[in-house]
């Protein structure tokens, strides 16, 4: 089943600047794993070491946040879009201190 | 209950009637709405890309008291998007430059400048004097600080955030909906999500997001929700300027939220640098650095060194680093077989920061060779070794 993953600009450095990636998957976990297989550099940004989704990335399927609705187990209907919504802060260069 | 109660409504003068007539003849704002605006006190945190349009429009709209917090001074590279500042303001404190501009637009506005860094020590003291806080900050520690202070004080935060071509906006108001921690319980560790300093930002983008924030501030003050309007409480607006797309996502209040949930565990401000991992980072295994001059000396002496340029192709077009192999930051792990662990590797970026994260990422991915960070990046090379090359 085909799923379209929307890549936010904060993560496009890891997907050769592509904004959408199509993968075959039935669940959120499968979709994101397929993405990290294609682009291994993105993996640490999406999964914690234990394979849990990072808490600064929200995953939306069909307009709903999956965090309290199945997480990585959540099913994705065929042809549906998965949107990654990372925390962004804007502005300050890396390492700037308060 | 309205943010500005009946007993605070401000009198409107004859001049006010002239100046705000386009609001007064709008039934949803009207006389009372303008009285509320005049009575309202709004704090704008950050007078940068988001704070600029916020301050300009809120001043023009007649918000009676505007507070500005910023510790920064105006730099030339700000002017591409921070339209409240002018070329002649370079090197001036941003709050002073913004105050002058606000006075030019609307001399009736009371401007309170806080030329300081917002911190756990001063945030509650400053924020408690305001009805609404507009968050135009550019870093995670301050975002969590503003969120927590607003939740503790019961004040709404009008949130806006930008990166490259993308913006987010929402209204976090714990009394009526979710807060920032409900959406993002924890920030990214330093180095995981890059920031605008190295990532760039389309100059118009903060203008658009800041205007949406100004709109939401005004709606909160005039109580739009009671007049057939709908605020961004419980909704996250996503904007993509490049594809020109607006999307809206539902935000739920998180019952387990540590500050606004059912059993809050945070009752006071915390150390936000520590919370955001900025202190942890210092404790990590250090990355070896090499200065531009030392690197030049080693190269001149004929040392075998692999130079790895982790910048993006468009950056290499500005400054080509001779003899370096180009592997953008986002492809290092996938291409790590291209390195030879027998030979010292020197990683190069623009300012020597991404290269540190590159070395850490490769180390975590199991690369065993010796790695050095070119201190202060290609800018140092241009400064200390080859001044014919640009610092950008
Ligand atoms: Zn919350």
CB contact under 8 A, A91 and B330: no
CA B275 centroid distance within chain: 17
Is A95 a domain residue?
no
Total domains in chain A come to 1
Which residues are CB-neighbours of B325 under 8 A, at least 6 positions away? B306, B307, B308, B309, B338
User: Could B273 and A58 be called an inter-chain contact, meaning their C-beta atoms sit closer than 8 Å?
Assistant: no
Give the pLDDT score at A68.
83
Q: What angle do CA B1, B6, B12 make, to 5 degrees?
A: 135
Q: pTM to 2 decimals?
A: 0.88
Residues above pLDDT 90, as percent of chain B: 85
Q: Count other Cβ atoms within 10 Å, centred on residue B90.
A: 14
Domain hosting A40: range is 2-86
Cβ burial of A85 (10 Å; 0-12, 13-18, 19+) is buried
Band (B234; pLDDT cuts 50, 70, 90) = very high
Residue A92 domain-assigned? no
Asked if the model's pLDDT at residue B201 lies above 70, the reply is yes
The pLDDT confidence band at residue B197, using thresholds 50, 70 and 90, is: very low
Ligand 1 centroid – CA B257 distance (Å)? 5
Q: What is the mean pLDDT of residues B69-74?
A: 96
Q: Looking at residue B280, what is its pLDDT?
A: 67
* Mean per-residue pLDDT, B43-56: 97
Report all structural domains of chain B as residue ranges with CATH numbers, in order of start.
6-275 (3.40.50.720), 288-384 (3.40.250.10)
| Percent of chain B residues topping a pLDDT of 70 | 96
pLDDT at B361: 87
Chain B residue closest in CA terms to A6? B240
**pLDDT bucket at B199, cuts 50 / 70 / 90:** low
- A32 found inside a domain: yes
Residues of B annotated as catalytic are: 196, 349
pLDDT in tens, A50-93: 788 888 999 999 888 998 888 899 999 988 999 999 998 875 44
Sheet of A2-6: strand order equals A20-24, A2-6, A81-86, A57-61, A64-65
CA of B175 to the centre of ligand 1 (A): 10
Q: Is residue A79 part of a domain?
A: yes
CATH number, residue A11: 3.10.20.30
- Helix (H), strand (E) at residue B296: helix B292-300
The answer for residues whose C-beta is within 8 angstroms of residue B331's C-beta and 6 or more apart is A14, A16, A41
Q: In Å, how far from its chain's centre is CA A45?
A: 8
Provide DSSP, B178-236: --HHHH-SSPPPTTTS--HHHH-B-THHHHHHHHHHHHHHHHHHTTGGGTT---SBTEE
Q: What is the pLDDT of residue B264?
A: 96
Is residue A49 assigned to a domain? yes
Question: Is A71 domain-assigned?
Answer: yes
In a domain, A66, yes or no: yes
Mean pLDDT of B45-61: 97
- Please indicate, yes or no, if residue A38 is contained in any of the structural domains: yes
Indicate the residue of B183, B190, B248 with minimum beta-carbon distance to A58: B183
Query: What are the pLDDT digits (tens) for A2-28?
Result: 999 999 988 888 999 899 999 999 999
User: Looking at residue B192, what is its pLDDT?
Assistant: 62
């Amino acid at each position: 089943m085909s799923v379209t993953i929307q890549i936010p600009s904060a993560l496009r450095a890891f997907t050769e600047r592509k904004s959408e990636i199509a993968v075959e998957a039935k669940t959120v976990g499968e979709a994101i794993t397929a993405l990290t297989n294609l682009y291994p550099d993105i993996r640490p940004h999406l999964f914690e070491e234990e394979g849990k989704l990072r808490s600064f990335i929200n995953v939306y399927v069909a307009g709903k946040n999956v965090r309290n609705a199945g997480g990585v187990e959540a099913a994705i209907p065929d042809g549906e879009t998965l949107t990654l919504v990372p925390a962004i802060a804007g502005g300050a260069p890396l390492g700037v201190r308060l | 209950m309205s943010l500005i109660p009946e007993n605070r409504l401000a009198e409107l003068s004859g001049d006010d009637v002239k100046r705000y007539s386009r609001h007064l003849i709008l039934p949803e704002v009207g006389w009372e709405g303008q009285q509320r605006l005049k009575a309202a006190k709004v704090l704008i945190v950050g007078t940068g890309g988001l704070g600029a349009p916020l301050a300009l429009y809120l001043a023009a709209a007649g918000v009676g008291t505007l507070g500005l917090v910023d510790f920064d001074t105006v730099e030339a590279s700000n002017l591409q998007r921070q339209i409240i500042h002018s070329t002649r303001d370079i090197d001036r404190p941003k709050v002073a430059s913004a105050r002058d501009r606000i006075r030019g637009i609307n001399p009736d506005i009371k401007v309170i400048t806080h030329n300081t860094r917002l911190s756990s020590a001063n945030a509650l003291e400053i924020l408690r004097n305001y009805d609404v806080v507009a968050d135009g900050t550019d870093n995670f520690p301050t975002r969590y600080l503003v969120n927590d202070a607003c939740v503790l004080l019961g004040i709404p935060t009008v949130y806006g955030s930008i990166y490259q071509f993308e913006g987010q906006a929402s209204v976090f108001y714990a009394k009526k909906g979710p807060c920032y921690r409900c959406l993002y319980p924890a920030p990214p560790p330093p180095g995981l999500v890059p920031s605008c300093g190295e990532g760039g930002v389309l100059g118009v983008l903060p203008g658009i997001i800041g205007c949406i924030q100004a709109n939401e501030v005004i709606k909160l003050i005039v109580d739009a929700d009671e007049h057939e309007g709908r605020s961004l409480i419980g909704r996250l607006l996503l904007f993509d300027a490049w594809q020109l797309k607006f999307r809206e996502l539902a935000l739920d209040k998180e019952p387990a939220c540590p500050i606004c949930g059912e059993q809050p565990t945070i009752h006071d401000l915390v150390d936000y640098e520590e919370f955001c991992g900025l202190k942890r980072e210092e404790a990590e295994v250090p990355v070896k650095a090499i200065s531009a001059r030392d690197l030049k000396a080693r190269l001149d002496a004929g040392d075998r060194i692999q130079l790895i340029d982790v910048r993006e192709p468009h950056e290499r077009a500005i400054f080509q680093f001779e003899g370096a192999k180009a592997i953008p930051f986002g492809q290092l792990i996938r291409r790590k077989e291209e390195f030879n662990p027998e030979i010292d590797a020197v990683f190069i970026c623009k300012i020597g920061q991404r290269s540190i994260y590159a070395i850490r990422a490769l180390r975590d991915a199991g690369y065993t060779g010796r790695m050095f960070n070119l201190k202060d990046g290609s800018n140092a090379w241009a400064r200390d070794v080859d001044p014919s090359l640009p610092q950008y």
